Structure 1
Amino acid sequence: MAHTQESLSKTPVIKFKDQDFNSLRDRCLSRGLLFEDETFPAELSSIGLSLLRRKPFFSLQWKRPKDILMGKSEPHFILEGVSRFDIQQGEAADCWFLAALGSLTQNPQHLQKILRNQSFSHQYAGIFCFWFWQCGQWVEVVVDDRLPILNNKFLFVHPLNDQEFWPCLLEKAYAKFHGSYFHLHYGHLPDALVDLTGGVVTSIDLHASPSDLVQMIQAAAQAGSLMTCGTPAGPTGEAMRMENGLVSQHAYTVTRAGQIQYRRGQEDLVCLWNPWGKTEWQGRWSDGSPEWEETHHQQKAQLYKDKDDGEFWMSCRDFQENFSCLYVCNQFPVNMGLKNMPHERWSQMTFKSHVTPGNTTEGLPQNTQYIFSVPESMDSNNVAVSFNIMPQNLRAEEKFPLNFQVFKVDPQFQHFRERLPSTFFSRFRNSDKGIVTKTRCNLTKCFTLSPGTYVVVVSAGTEAVEFLLRIFLRTSDPDGNPGSSFNLRALKASLPENNSQQSIFYKYAQQGRGIDATQLQRLLNQEFLKGPPGDTFSLDECRSVVALMDLKVNGQLDPEEFSRLWRRLVHCQRVFQNTQKSGVFLSSDLGKAVKDADFLAGISVSGELLDLMVLRYGDSAGRVSFPSLVCFLMRLEAMAKTFQNLSKDGQGLYLTQVEWMNLVMYN
């Protein structure tokens, strides 16, 4: 049967191995103990003996950061901000993960979701947690801070600053998530990109990429994309430094691109970062190369920095000759071949299901069909079909266990909304042409489909598989708003002055009695917002706003209550416009919004509460709409003041069951 779209953005965070960070930390704090993780013990099994076959593992020790520093200095989770230069790869060949992480450091809103708000000073109990994305949900992974040390050196990732430990602890959590450090030993860049963002990966064949690669990389960076690439394998099949300074079978982060005047023309450049740290490209436009000495263009000061930090420039031509594929990850597919890429608009259908072997007709299963429609004709790559599965469900060395095909549905079959008959499927209807990105855990295929109705048919190999399927549909966006189905309606540049409130009130109030939620919804969407449909005020949000402002508890706002609401709305608008970037308000900025809202002066919010508010008011892309921000700020004010009014000592309050139910069910 066909599966209807399942909303995953509001699903709870999954506790990996059923470990809850807050309860474990609180238990350790109450007992004065440091956490020891029995599910990922400080033993060889957590590393994998194969990684230590050439090492004297008998001298292996597990030490906490404070013991590593031996009192010479204090450990820090983050010291002077987060940067890719904080990371230096260790003994595990997990450059595929570290290159993705290096790109993530340039995307603060995604990075904060992974790292959380943690430290070695506030409520330290030797326990840390990190979030990774799998199958449409965020998974919380808990670890202790005992790190493997061999011969007084970090065995795996070691930070550039010996006092900063977020890279080591994050790598340990990712190793636990995959089973051991050995399971990070060689992997696929797209898998790491998806695990860190929940996005979808588009692969770009560099050998066939067009001449305007620099503009495409710049546009992808402007859209907030993560970008990585890799070198081909060498004759030994292991990562080795080559004569040109690059490392074979190695992953790199693409950090930016630029152009510079050189001799009588213009040179296109790409900047990359190596997780090894100090091993860099030695060819044209590398650090200290003669090309930099021959140019005096003003861009030189902005681009060139001769530092032995693993980051370097190379020409686009050398980039395309030495790297085969560029991976671009965003919340929606990125069409690098289109010059209007930033002006695309994507919608998304999401299905979470499973498929079992057998039950097929002509080799195609009849119980796993997903129907979608393409509304308009586009130039190219207007549909992307993306599958994601849990790595824990795969055996070692197992390849991606699903196959799928896309068929166009003829009008005579379009009434089959549940399941298409076996007589439908034939080769001439199969839309099989497309660009494929395939790894152990992710499979994405981009199509160019004409308008019509289509069906995705999924089949399994030898075992049942649970999976997440996302179908992305691209349409034109005449207003040029960047991004996807998360586009916001624009706020009006200015609002009527306060002395116009009365006229607006009576414009929407029925017979001058008051404004209920339905009338308020029309008022807010017409007076505060402009442009095409997007994130408007919903009826449920307006009911919440009315309840928060309704002092007389009659389900309506009178002129006085509306005047107070209007002042709050104007202030929320100012906070939104001062904080958002390019029309997008990030959920990571909710704390800043609380500080900037004058009517919340004196109200403090904990990091844990902010994390919950991100889940409650943000979407799956880490964005907050203006209506959601209004509801958050106004509800925060109402709840804080309610506590102040009801509490006798400022520490707690007592409510009867009736009082409690009236408070939480209405306000």
Structure 2
Amino acid sequence: MAYNPEPLSETSVIKFNDQDFHSLRDRCLQKHLHFEDETFPAEASSIGGELLQGKNLSNLEWKRPWVRANSLSLPFVPPHFILDDASRFDIEQGIAGDCWFLAALGSLTQNPQCLQKILMDQSFSHQYAGIFRFRFWQYGQWVEVVVDDRLPTIGRDYLFVRPRKGNQEFWPCLLEKAYAKLRGSYSNLHYGYIENALVDLTGGVVTTVNLHSSPSDLLMAVKMAAETGSLMTCATPNGPTAGAQVMKNGLVSQHAYTVTGAEKIQYKRGWEEIIRLWNPWGKTEWRGRWGDGSREWQETRDRRKIQLYENKEDGEFWMSCQDFQENFSCLFICNQFPITLDHGITPHERWHLIMFKNQVLLGNTTGAPRRETQYFFDVSELMRGHNVVVSFTVRPQSLKAEDENFPIRFQVFKVRQPFQQFQERLPPTFFSPFRHDIQGIEYEVNSNFTKSFHLIPGHYVVVPSAPREKTEYLLRIFLKMPDSDRYRAFGILRLVLPSSPGNGLIPMSFLCSNQGLDIDATQLQNLLNQELLTGMVSPRACWSQPQPDTPPAATSLKVDGRLDQEEFGRLWRRLVHCQVWLVLCNYHSYFIKFSKYLLGAQPCTRVKGHEKGEELPAPRSR
């Protein structure tokens, strides 16, 4: 019922700085050495001057967890990568102002499957060589970053994320170091955007909810997002002074928090809606209603109090939804598919994706908007709620810290006659200022920007522009469509790639594959199972993989073991033609059985809307 991303494979991962983890580790193991990363050296340059101001650099040391554990005059506790399970309580923020990243990471720990894609299986014992690796989603591609385990310390204190006291778990410290390397230095983590961290950790799309104009049923919205495995974070507005400051109510201004739960609890003669948050600082908590030690927790008679309430200095606390909306500015929800709070997703709907990688916009210094780059899409069905989501991700190299203006602006137009014949680029006359029916809407884009629309059926175009300098970006367009056998059979899932007007019969999965418009036998097998067989036949009836000496398809004329876009298009059209006839025959069979049932000749198997295999009751006589 939701868009499922492609599985992460080794071949689809880019090696950051061309460093291969396995070859580097094996070399260290053979030479009995510990890895030292020359591309992110144990020097002050890797930290950055902004975070070292006022620090005594003569006391700065980079130590490996094993060495540091042996040097302290404390009972020896060996380091662990993960002890038991990874938890948000393993994280404690250091001197860097990277709460925006740690809050997203804390939320990720509630989705173990997604977290495992980043952490993988690593340890300080098995094949330990002082080298670790982590993966981040960058600009439409997973990137693997290799780091050594030397961490900056001054005296007994780690400068940045430190392991929780007593447990010696170092996965958060090393993950933060890998992210700092990806960004250039620890100083580049000092303040940032929550949306960027959420996308970098998941490859998902972020929905931003303005809490001052949020839906009335905020509790249900949060619970729905939690049930879908979404990451949720929030932020407090700026305080009276610059930087993060602890306020009288215990909250920190200009600070990011993780949303970890929401409940409706019995209180006095009614019910109270409460929400749970976690502070990456680890201790500073809300002192108001429903906070730890508050009167509300003492007075409630709700039987779930034992499961919900723990009075600990761990940075996690409850507060009422009303106080939450009054003290926080935005709620950020991230998932692999868009989360729309106006309607959500019903069992007969599905998000589908069109992706455009490695896109480039040329800067414009004349002031007039350049509209050479255009992306077309079709809305085929009238759906409830938001049915189109446009998401831009700007390449980090195109961003400048001192820039206050956004690097991209974009407009969405409905294409009417006579311009619907243009499939690659609309003529300048379409954008005439004297026309009033183009219905253009302009939005500004930050490094990650998502906008939801409710669009009526028709032909549309997204037109981005770069006000000044050249900008590289990734564009994703999510379309909500019906998800039923009837629509699948007649090709509703097939989307049109704007640059290829003649390929309307090629499925989205083929056009959006990481390997480009070219697939081998294994990829063809997976694609056909996903696009043709899902919802039509039994899961056991899977497309069998061709033998090694068998060509992947009879239409492959190059005999190179792969299908390009043209060859696959011919194969796909023939398969869809056969599929339509199969479904029509299937419906014809149901019609014959149902007709006999109405005539009282035989019982009939239940059809859509009932449990498969059960018999309908006998028809009542009038």
Would you say same fold, with TM above 0.5? yes
- For Structure 1 versus Structure 2, the TM-score category normalised by the shorter chain is 0.7 to 0.9
Q: Residue in 2 aligned with 1:657?
A: none
Alignment check: 8 A CA contact 1:202 1:437 kept: no
Instruction: Give runs of aligned pairs for residues 420-431 of structure 1, distance below 5 A.
Output: 420-426=426-432, 428-431=436-439
Q: Does 1:375 align with 2:380?
A: yes
Alignment check: 8 A CA contact 2:236 2:253 kept: yes
Pairing partner for 2:179 from 168, 174, 188: 174
Q: 1:233 to 1:432 in 2, by over 3 A?
A: farther
Q: Does 1:103 align with 2:103?
A: no
Partner of 1:90, secondary structure, is coil
Q: Residue in 1 aligned with 2:39?
A: 39
Q: Residue in 1 aligned with 2:65?
A: 65
- Report the AA paired with residue 332 of structure 2: Y
1:333 and 1:349 map into 2 onto residues whose CA distance is: 13
2:305 and 2:21 map into 1 onto residues whose CA distance is: 48
- Report the AA paired with residue 123 of structure 2: S
Q: Does 1:461 align with 2:474?
A: no
1:141 and 1:446 map into 2 onto residues whose CA distance is: 33
- For residue 364 of structure 1, report the CA deviation from its aligned partner: 3.7
Q: Residue in 2 aligned with 1:475?
A: 481
Q: Residue in 1 aligned with 2:453?
A: 447
Alignment check: 8 A CA contact 1:348 1:473 kept: yes
Q: 1:302 to 1:331 in 2, by over 3 A?
A: same
Q: 1:40 to 1:416 in 2, by over 3 A?
A: same
Instruction: Give runs of aligned pairs for residues 501-580 of structure 1, distance below 5 A.
Output: 531=535, 539=543, 541-543=544-546
Q: Does 1:83 align with 2:74?
A: no
Partner of 1:68, secondary structure, is helix
Pairing partner for 2:264 from 259, 277, 292: 259
Pairing partner for 1:233 from 224, 232, 238: 238
2:132 and 2:349 map into 1 onto residues whose CA distance is: 39
Q: 1:524 to 1:138 in 2, by over 3 A?
A: closer
For structure 2, the residue ranges without an aligned partner over 5 or more in a row are 486-490, 494-521, 551-622
Deviates more, 1:272-281 or 1:385-394: 385-394
- For residue 197 of structure 1, report the CA deviation from its aligned partner: 0.1
Q: 1:264 to 1:46 in 2, by over 3 A?
A: same
Q: Residue in 2 aligned with 1:50?
A: 50
Q: Residue in 2 aligned with 1:188?
A: 193
- For residue 295 of structure 1, report the CA deviation from its aligned partner: 1.1
Q: Deviations over 1:150-203 (max 9, x none)?
A: 122010001214521000000000000001000000000000000000000000
Partner of 2:22, secondary structure, is helix
Alignment check: 8 A CA contact 1:364 1:457 kept: no
Alignment check: 8 A CA contact 2:363 2:471 kept: no
Pairing partner for 1:323 from 314, 319, 328: 328
2:105 and 2:383 map into 1 onto residues whose CA distance is: 34
Pairing partner for 1:302 from 307, 316, 320: 307
Pairing partner for 1:213 from 218, 230, 250: 218
1:524 and 1:337 map into 2 onto residues whose CA distance is: 33
Pairing partner for 1:201 from 206, 213, 233: 206
Partner of 1:182, secondary structure, is helix
- Report the AA paired with residue 314 of structure 1: M
Pairing partner for 2:144 from 129, 140, 154: 140
Q: Residue in 1 aligned with 2:30?
A: 30
Pairing partner for 1:125 from 123, 129, 136: 129
Q: 1:302 to 1:378 in 2, by over 3 A?
A: same
Q: Does 1:115 align with 2:147?
A: no
Q: 1:121 to 1:8 in 2, by over 3 A?
A: closer
Alignment check: 8 A CA contact 2:409 2:444 kept: no
Alignment check: 8 A CA contact 2:392 2:445 kept: no
- For residue 293 of structure 1, report the CA deviation from its aligned partner: 1.3
- For residue 389 of structure 1, report the CA deviation from its aligned partner: 2.2
- Report the AA paired with residue 155 of structure 1: L
Partner of 1:237, secondary structure, is coil
- For residue 450 of structure 1, report the CA deviation from its aligned partner: 1.0
Q: Residue in 2 aligned with 1:249?
A: 254
Q: Does 1:269 align with 2:274?
A: yes
- For residue 359 of structure 1, report the CA deviation from its aligned partner: 8.0
Q: Deviations over 1:312-352 (max 9, x none)?
A: 00000000000011000001110123265687421110011
- Report the AA paired with residue 246 of structure 1: L
Alignment check: 8 A CA contact 2:361 2:373 kept: no
Q: 1:26 to 1:340 in 2, by over 3 A?
A: closer
Q: Deviations over 1:482-507 (max 9, x none)?
A: xxx9x9xxxxxxxxxxxxxxxxxxxx
- Report the AA paired with residue 215 of structure 2: P
Alignment check: 8 A CA contact 1:201 1:437 kept: no
Q: 1:474 to 1:121 in 2, by over 3 A?
A: same
Alignment check: 8 A CA contact 1:404 1:456 kept: yes
Q: Residue in 1 aligned with 2:339?
A: 334
2:373 and 2:538 map into 1 onto residues whose CA distance is: 32
Alignment check: 8 A CA contact 2:409 2:466 kept: yes
- For residue 266 of structure 1, report the CA deviation from its aligned partner: 0.9
Q: 1:9 to 1:75 in 2, by over 3 A?
A: closer
Partner of 1:543, secondary structure, is coil
1:124 and 1:256 map into 2 onto residues whose CA distance is: 37
Partner of 2:93, secondary structure, is coil
Q: 1:366 to 1:353 in 2, by over 3 A?
A: farther
Tell me the TM-score normalised to structure 1 length. Answer: 0.70
Q: Percent identity?
A: 60
Q: Residue in 1 aligned with 2:355?
A: 350
- Report the AA paired with residue 139 of structure 1: V
Alignment check: 8 A CA contact 1:369 1:455 kept: yes
Q: Does 1:281 align with 2:324?
A: no
1:156 and 1:456 map into 2 onto residues whose CA distance is: 42
- Report the AA paired with residue 28 of structure 2: C
For structure 1, the residue ranges without an aligned partner over 5 or more in a row are 1-5, 480-484, 488-516, 548-667
- Report the AA paired with residue 63 of structure 1: K
Partner of 1:67, secondary structure, is helix
- Report the AA paired with residue 267 of structure 1: E
Q: 1:168 to 1:421 in 2, by over 3 A?
A: same
